[in-house]
Structure 1
């Protein structure tokens, strides 16, 4: 199971929410089947609908 907190710890170079989306998409394409959003992304540009956007990126709804 992929956890958002693990992604953020492994990729400390990410500085914005917009940089996080392609990373989530890449992990999903590499065969990860489950995604758990266990923390809120700590970026100043994190939108109000951040959970929906991350789920959409993982499930392939955002391209």
Structure 2
């Protein structure tokens, strides 16, 4: 299971929410099946709907083409 806190610990270089979305998509394409949003992203540009955005990015990127 992929945890958001794990991504944030592994990717200290992330500066924006959009960069985080890219990493989530990449991990989903890499075969992760489950995603847990256990912390709020600490970026100033994190939208109020951050959970929906990350869930949608993970689900869309993980779909087979």
TM-score bracket, normalised by the shorter chain, equals over 0.9
**Distance in 1 separating the partners of 2:15 and 2:22:** 13
Structure 1: stretches of 5+ with no match in the other structure: none
Q: When the two structures are aligned, how many residues end up with a matched partner?
A: 61
| Aligned residue number for residue 54 of structure 2 | 54
**Distance in 1 separating the partners of 2:24 and 2:16:** 13
- Taking structure 1 as the reference length, what is the TM-score of the superposition? 0.94
**Distance in 2 separating the partners of 1:18 and 1:3:** 17
| Aligned residue number for residue 15 of structure 1 | 15
- Taking structure 2 as the reference length, what is the TM-score of the superposition? 0.91
Deviations 1:12-51, CA, capped at 9 Å, x for gaps: 0000101111110000000000000000000000001000
CA RMSD in angstroms comes to 0.9
Which of structure 1's runs of 4+ aligned residues deviate more than 6 A?
Answer: none
**Distance in 2 separating the partners of 1:32 and 1:57:** 13
